[in-house]
């Protein structure tokens, strides 16, 4: 059989790989404007800069002759597949995105998508320190940057709560309570 009809590698079935967090079935892909713009910038970087550079490298490596032991060619083709997979993922996510601008929400003390929430974690009768997070979409969540997904355990626990409410949270450390101390839409 000709090599033209075989895969380059048996482990590379890229179309079946999910390159980001899964959305629950039947839910919308809510995103903030900042998250949507970040995805668009990443897509633009991949399409206009990264992919053309890799294509150029692969074309140069292919012109050198034997491709079976050509590291630049093999690595370049693998990197090209990774870039193409990420491009497909970003396009699909952006097509189904529903952009929500939290600053347009009327002033309320209730937690909805896009809210910046300050809360205190309670462990029994002992209050912990205050933490502040913004409730964002699954593709833009980054707890170290103060952004939690609306489908995360904390996100689901605090959605629709009001300032002063205590909500229960199931965590690996056991049941805890969260007291909402402030809600802002910035």
The predicted model gives 136-158 an average pLDDT of 92
Distance CA 132, CA 135 (A): 10
Whether pLDDT at 184 is above 60: yes
Which residues of the chain form CATH 3.10.50.30? 102-184
What's the pLDDT at 98?
93
Whether pLDDT at 6 is above 80: no
What's the pLDDT at 138?
93
The CATH class, in words, for 28-99 is: mainly alpha
Quickly state the pLDDT bin for 26 (edges 50, 70, 90): confident
Whether pLDDT at 70 is above 60: yes
Average pLDDT, the chain: 85
What's the pLDDT at 10?
42
Helix (H, G, I), strand (E, B) or coil at 111: coil
Which residues of the chain form CATH 1.10.287.180? 28-99
Tell me the C-alpha to C-alpha distance, in Å, between residue 137 and each of 33, 78, 150, 151: 10, 30, 6, 8
| Strands 116-123, 97-100: pairing kind | unpaired
Quickly state the pLDDT bin for 17 (edges 50, 70, 90): very low
What's the pLDDT at 19?
60
More confident residue, 5 or 32: 32
What's the pLDDT at 16?
42
Q: Which residues of 145-168 are buried (b: 16+ CB within 10 A; e: fewer)?
A: eebbbbbbebbebbbebebebebe
In CATH, what is the architecture of 102-184? Roll (3.10)
């Amino acid at each position: 059989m000709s090599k033209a009809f075989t895969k380059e590698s048996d482990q590379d079935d890229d179309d079946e790989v999910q390159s980001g967090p899964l959305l629950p079935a039947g839910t919308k892909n809510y995103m903030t404007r900042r998250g949507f713009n970040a995805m668009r910038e990443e897509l633009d970087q991949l399409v206009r800069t990264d992919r053309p550079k890799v294509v150029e490298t692969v074309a140069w490596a292919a012109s050198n002759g034997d491709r079976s032991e050509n590291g630049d060619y093999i690595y370049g083709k693998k990197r090209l597949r990774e870039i193409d997979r990420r491009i497909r993922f970003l396009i699909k996510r952006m097509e189904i995105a529903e952009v929500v601008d939290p600053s347009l929400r009327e002033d309320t003390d209730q937690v909805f998508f896009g809210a910046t929430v300050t809360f205190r974690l309670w462990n029994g009768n002992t209050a912990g320190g205050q933490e502040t997070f913004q409730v964002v979409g699954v593709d833009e969540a980054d707890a170290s940057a103060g952004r939690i997904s609306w489908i995360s355990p904390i996100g689901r626990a605090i959605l629709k709560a009001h300032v002063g409410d205590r909500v229960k949270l199931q965590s690996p450390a056991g049941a805890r309570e969260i007291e909402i101390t402030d809600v802002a839409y910035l």
